[in-house]
């Protein structure tokens, strides 16, 4: 779980963002892209999702320095309709292509009522909540899911079939905080898988079901298996093994938004009294 450590050194967000941006520039990233990913990683820290925030920087930059991730990707929309879009990440970080996809999904939702986009040919996109929450800015509901490319081990434990694939839902509210679910589709704890299954078998089946949804939408539909066999000479980046699916819904097409948010507020308020 993401919890505040008992011992720590407090660093102000602006200072941390400048430091992270400089680190990515050292890895070859453009000034603009470095500032973008630094901003997203610091926001993730501020939400308390430390596992997917700035502590990921050494690994990300290391992948760039090792030539496994493109530090200067040319992200492109390669297919588009009034309600859908497909983005190619050009072997870079998912924080670039998936962010473009999320912005496109939200824009289309406001124009058409519903919007969805996929991103592919990129590396890790971090916490899913940073993309679903973009829908909240325009009073839409958002969903984001991702998956990385891997094959199941027939000798492995069934619980590992999840791949810890992330997903997030974001629901706007009025005076209350929005409902944001930002999670990995896995179960972690001090118990072994066998002990945890004995204690709560239903949780395992839900975990497997949710993970396969992320695989189906953020993986297979996004096209992660289009890039598993580099051509000769290789032009595909080794780390570009992930994809994402992001969707947005304009709630006002179904209910007056103020009425809807008032009901959400009441629901959250009542839950807090329990």
pLDDT score for 163: 81
More confidently predicted of 64 and 208 = 64
Q: Tell me how far apart the alpha carbons of residues 130 and 192 are, in angstroms, rounded to a whole number.
A: 31
* CATH 3.30.1370.60 residue window(s) in the chain: 73-272
Could you tell me the two tokens for 6? 């008992």
Percent of the chain having pLDDT more than 70?
96
Residue 129 binned pLDDT confidence (cut-offs 50, 70, 90): very high
pLDDT score for 153: 87
Task: Decide: 167 and 256 in contact? Cβ < 8 Å.
Answer: no
Residue 155 binned pLDDT confidence (cut-offs 50, 70, 90): confident
Most confident of 148-152, 160-164, 219-223: 219-223
pLDDT score for 61: 98
Task: Decide: 131 and 144 in contact? Cβ < 8 Å.
Answer: yes
C-alpha distances out from residue 117 to 101, 104, 125, 204, Å: 5, 7, 14, 29
Fold of 73-272: Ribosomal Protein S8; Chain: A, domain 1 (3.30.1370)
Q: Tell me how far apart the alpha carbons of residues 121 and 239 are, in angstroms, rounded to a whole number.
A: 9
pLDDT tens-place string over residues 21-58: 999 999 999 999 999 999 999 999 999 999 999 999 99
* H-type alpha helices, 27-75: 31-46, 57-65
Q: Is the domain 1-66 a CATH 1.10.1530.10 member?
A: yes
pLDDT tens-place string over residues 218-246: 999 999 988 776 555 556 799 999 999 99
**Which pTM was predicted?**
0.94
**Strand pairing report for 114-122 and 84-88:** parallel
According to DSSP, the residues that pair with 183 across neighbouring strands are 167
According to DSSP, the residues that pair with 115 across neighbouring strands are 248
* CATH 1.10.1530.10 residue window(s) in the chain: 1-66
């Amino acid at each position: 779980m993401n919890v505040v450590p008992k011992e720590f050194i407090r660093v102000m967000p602006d200072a941390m963002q400048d430091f992270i941006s400089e680190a990515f520039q050292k890895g070859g990233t453009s000034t603009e892209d470095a500032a973008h990913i630094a901003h997203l990683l610091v926001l993730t820290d501020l939400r308390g999702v430390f596992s997917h925030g700035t502590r990921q920087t050494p690994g990300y930059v290391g992948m760039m320095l090792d030539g496994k991730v493109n530090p200067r990707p040319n992200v492109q929309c390669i297919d588009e309709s009034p309600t859908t879009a497909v983005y190619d990440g050009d072997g870079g970080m998912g924080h670039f292509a998936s962010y473009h996809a999320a912005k496109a999904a939200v824009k289309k939702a406001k124009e058409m009522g519903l919007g969805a986009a996929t991103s592919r040919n990129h590396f890790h996109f971090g916490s899913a909540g940073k993309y679903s929450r973009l829908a909240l800015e325009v009073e839409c509901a958002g969903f984001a899911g991702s998956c990385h490319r891997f094959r199941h081990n027939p000798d492995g434990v069934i619980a590992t079939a999840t791949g810890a694939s992330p997903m997030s839902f974001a629901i706007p509210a009025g005076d209350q905080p929005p409902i944001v679910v930002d999670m990995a589709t896995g179960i972690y704890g001090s118990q072994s898988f066998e002990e945890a299954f004995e204690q709560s078998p239903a949780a395992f089946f839900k975990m497997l079901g949710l993970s396969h949804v992320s695989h189906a939408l953020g993986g297979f539909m996004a096209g992660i298996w289009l890039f598993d066999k580099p051509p000769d000479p290789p032009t595909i980046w080794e780390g570009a093994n992930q994809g994402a699916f992001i969707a947005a819904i304009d709630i006002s097409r179904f209910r007056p938004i103020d009425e809807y948010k008032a009901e959400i507020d009441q629901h959250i308020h009542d839950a807090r009294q329990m």
